[in-house]
Amino acid sequence: MKVYLINPPPSHGVKMVREGRCMQRKGAWTTIWPPITLATAAAMLLKEDIEVKLSDCIAEGMSFGQLKLALRKFNPDLVVINTATASIYSDLSTAKLTKDVCPQAKTLALGLHVTVLPDEAFVLSAQLDFVIRGEVEFCLLDVAKKLKEGNGNLAEIKGLSYRDGEGIHHNQERPFDGDLNTLPFPAWGLINTGNYTLPFSGEPFLLVTTSKGCLNACVFCPAKPFYGKRLRFRDYRIVAEEMAYVGKQFGVRHFLIWSESFTESREYVISLCDEILKRKLNVSWVCNSRVDKVDLEMLLLMKQAGCWMIGYGVESGNQDILDTNKKGVTVTQIEQAIALAKKAGLEVTAHIIFGLPGETMQTGLETIRWLNKLDIDYAQIYCAVPWPSTPLYHIAKEKGWLVTNNWELYEQNNCILDTKSIKPREVEYLRARALGSFYLSPKRMANILKKINSFRKARLLFDAIKEFLSWL
């Protein structure tokens, strides 16, 4: 039994992050993220004595032509295709490519888009055999074991959609109850970890999972169909052990905590930080958080345990927009959370979304002025995207706000929503103006230049500037 896990090549040259709800060009800090879902699934398959190959074509610079050669050489029994909304047409073409060179191989697609639109996935690719809906690692393991054993009763696998001679079948939903403590450490040895580096410093980094699931009700977030509504944690001791293992095995000490909201449980955060300190781990990490889930004592402990930056889901500086989109926080809480993080010595990234329901040119300009007054280090600025299955998507369909059905345009660099109170071109103008006014301010340019103390870092800064200009 041979399984080939693939993060497909760029679509139209656009390097996409395809990691659950995170479907965007590259990612935070203009870098590529390691494919943690594929690497974890690979580790589970390896434990079953299944031969595994993993290709992150984005990071490796692999074209479809090169992928075709790799498929022919490996000759897999099952090909697993990672997908995202904006690259879905290109991603699913991997199934045809597979059948062209390995006609006996089964093809399987995973990702948030195919999770919520499995029927469409089978229409888009006649060569697609399976779709996983949701809990990826556990469902994929079940599929691979069935194929390895020659047991064709696929109807038993919860969370699987499949095609056979009789048509398309959608099995019973898989509950989000998989024990995260049974997940092995990601099989990072299958890829070149040196391909994933932090901006400015160029240091390698990897992702580490602490929890899955989301308790919150934001109308624009697509997390729940992929991770579930119930919050599940990995034992903090296992997470610390994974950090220690990655440092020893791969020489990587920088981590992005992979969680919908790392600080959702104060007790968990404190336990993990205490464990890191007890083990005297030389690690450096960043995380995301809601602004209503932090306090100074916890942030100080996080800093002591190696955290250097926290990312807040700010979304807007207008309270009515926050309320309309069920963010569940106040502008005052946002400002207080930023102040607490800075007091603890942490750098801060604010995530802003323009074009949400209720947005006008006036509210957008207010947010820009407010953003530029905040004591933050970085801003990730997006256009609102009505991801399939989100409340925002259903609202947009009902109200006739969608200006296109072309999935390639469903990405955060451009706007496809005409909410009547603001036009798509106006949203894109606000995003470009916010990026320009924020990063081109003398204060922030000076802060970034302070980080440049070598030729290598200067080159990395130049690359980041090129990426920045492509956003405008």
List where CATH 3.80.30.20 sits in the chain.
Answer: 197-471
Mean pLDDT of 277-299: 98
pLDDT tens string 420-444: 999 999 999 999 999 999 988 888 7
pLDDT tens string 305-346: 999 999 999 999 999 999 999 999 999 999 999 999 999 999
| Best CATH choice for the domain 2-170 from the list 3.50.50.60, 3.40.50.280, 3.40.50.720, 3.40.50.1820 | 3.40.50.280
User: Using an 8 Å Cβ cutoff, are 263 and 289 in contact?
Assistant: yes
Supply the pLDDT for residue 28.
Answer: 45
* Residue 255, beta-bridge partner list: 206, 285
What whole-number distance in Å separates Cα of residue 159 and Cα of residue 174? 4
Give the contacts of 297 (CB within 8 A, at least 6 positions apart): none
Smallest CA-to-CA distance from 199 within 286, 305, 314, 288 is with: 286
pLDDT tens string 231-260: 999 999 999 999 999 999 999 999 999 998
pLDDT tens string 378-414: 999 999 999 999 999 999 999 999 999 999 999 999 9
Quote the percentage of the chain above a pLDDT of 90.
84
- The answer, yes or no, to whether residue 125 has pLDDT greater than 90, is yes
Q: Which of 186-190, 194-198, 468-472 has the highest mean pLDDT?
A: 186-190
DSSP of 18-77, one letter per residue? EETTEEEES-GGG-PPP-HHHHHHHHHHHHTT-EEEEEEHHHHT--HHHHHHHHHHH--S
User: Using an 8 Å Cβ cutoff, are 133 and 143 in contact?
Assistant: no
- The answer, yes or no, to whether residue 76 has pLDDT greater than 50, is yes
Q: 147: which 2 tokens?
A: 């194929």
DSSP state of 254: E
- The answer, yes or no, to whether residue 351 has pLDDT greater than 90, is yes
Domain 197-471 -> CATH class: alpha beta
